[in-house]
Structure 1
Amino acid sequence: MPSRSIPLFPLKTVLFPDGLLPLQVFEVRYLDMIGKCIANQSEFGIVSLAEGSEVRKLEGRDVLAPVGTIAKIDEWGKPQPGLIRINCIGGVRFRILSSEQLKHGLWMADVEDVEDDHNISIPQELQIASDMLQSLITSLQKKVGEGGELPMRPPFRLNDCGWVANRWCELLPIPLTEKQHLLALDNPLLRLELVQDLLDQLGLTESV
């Protein structure tokens, strides 16, 4: 796949394809970047910080994860001067080929897109992960009511290994390194198998 250059927003989180990520932007380097993305209807990359701080510091250094996700700005607003609030939707994954931190602190990277997950139907032995997610979605819909915000958006592809695995990756209380490992996996069936193992380890499947 051809490479392209994009600005990066390193965070102590992982954005998955089709995932939702609200952000409050206040650092000058990111206010400028987000302003340009809004004006040009362009995208940027979310990449997890293996080492370093989300807020720029004079000491220390940032270590970026090798795989990230394109963020598309869905909604934005300026509640006060020096602050932009945005809601992002996860797009394609990308692999960093090279990166550089500019003088004012913004990271730029040459990246290549990672192929989208193949649509693989959920096998019977992993169906419990989908059933549990469907039950959770139904419960949340009742809780927030019609028009309320859910932590995921339709269409709910509950028979798609990649989609179900990604939503659980966002929801489960697992370390950042583990989420990053799951994001980087090219096989959505394997990702869902590992997610179901995590559900078992956390005791969440026992009551089903």
Structure 2
Amino acid sequence: MADTTEIPLFPLTGVLLPYGRMPLRIFERRYLDLVRDCMRAGTGFGVAWIRRGEEVAQRGQAKPELGDWGTYARIVDWDQLKDGLLGITIEGERRFSLLRSHTAASQLVMGEVQLESSPLPQPVPADWESLVDVLQSLEVHPHVERMGLDIDYDNAWQVAYALIQLLPLEESLKYSLLGLDDLHRVGEALNEVLNRISGED
């Protein structure tokens, strides 16, 4: 059963998937404070996809329109970047449904969310051989290797989410795939995507 709670949100124009990793450059004070508080308390925050609007707040600008679901994330690494900014790596844990949001006095966007349970591990279907091959080829790319992913190739959900995260897809498509609960439909969609990329369709 999903739990309802309030969590800080990090609105992004990119979509984070469960098990996926994403590097972020932190420079706004509200997010520097968020990172500090999360690291001290060992907690996370929600990554919400921006349907319309901007990531960086500007005076007089309407707040961004957020998607109806997102991914709860935790900080797994951090470093000071060459430009002096704070760099962090976040990892997705589980999905949430965003019920409502508001901007706190700290200027952080807070969301009332239902945190969903992670889907139970499912065996990789026999007809996913091409999906597994593509994921294994992506995993040895230097950029992906630096992420330090630990992919369980016996769990079809993890294979699917890792592929969605790593493939060069439109963020709106990643968001749509994140919202699917049917593993068969996810696999069909990924096969269609790979066929388009390879020019077979």
**TM-score between both structures, scaled by the size of structure 2:** 0.88
Query: What SS class does the counterpart of residue 172 from structure 2 fall into?
Result: helix
Which amino acid in structure 2 is aligned with residue 27 of structure 1? E
Identity of aligned residues (%): 30
CA distance in structure 2 between the aligned counterparts of 1:127 and 1:80, rounded to whole angstroms? 40
Contact 1:7 1:107 (8 Å CA) reproduced: yes
CA distance in structure 2 between the aligned counterparts of 1:83 and 1:77, rounded to whole angstroms? 9
Contact 2:3 2:116 (8 Å CA) reproduced: no
From 70, 83, 86, give the equivalent of 1:84: 86
Report what 1:60 is aligned to.
62
From 162, 178, 197, give the equivalent of 1:202: 197
CA distance in structure 1 between the aligned counterparts of 2:199 and 2:157, rounded to whole angstroms? 20
Which amino acid in structure 1 is aligned with residue 162 of structure 2? R
Contact 1:117 1:188 (8 Å CA) reproduced: no
Equivalent residues in 2 for 1:24-173, closer than 5 Å: 24-58=25-59, 59-78=61-80, 83-137=85-139, 139-140=140-141, 149-151=145-147, 153-154=149-150, 156-173=151-168
CA distance in structure 1 between the aligned counterparts of 2:96 and 2:148, rounded to whole angstroms? 21
* Structure 2 segments unaligned to the other structure (5+ residues): none
- Structure 2 vs 1, CA of residues 73 and 38 (structure 1 numbering), >3 Å: closer, same or farther? same
CA distance in structure 2 between the aligned counterparts of 1:181 and 1:114, rounded to whole angstroms? 17
**TM-score between both structures, scaled by the size of structure 1:** 0.85
Report what 2:169 is aligned to.
174
- State the Cα RMSD in Å: 2.4
Which amino acid in structure 2 is aligned with residue 187 of structure 1? D
Q: Encode CA deviations 1:49-88: one digit per residue, 9 max, x unaligned.
A: 0011011122233101111111111122345998322111
- Structure 2 vs 1, CA of residues 116 and 81 (structure 1 numbering), >3 Å: closer, same or farther? same
CA distance in structure 2 between the aligned counterparts of 1:136 and 1:176, rounded to whole angstroms? 18
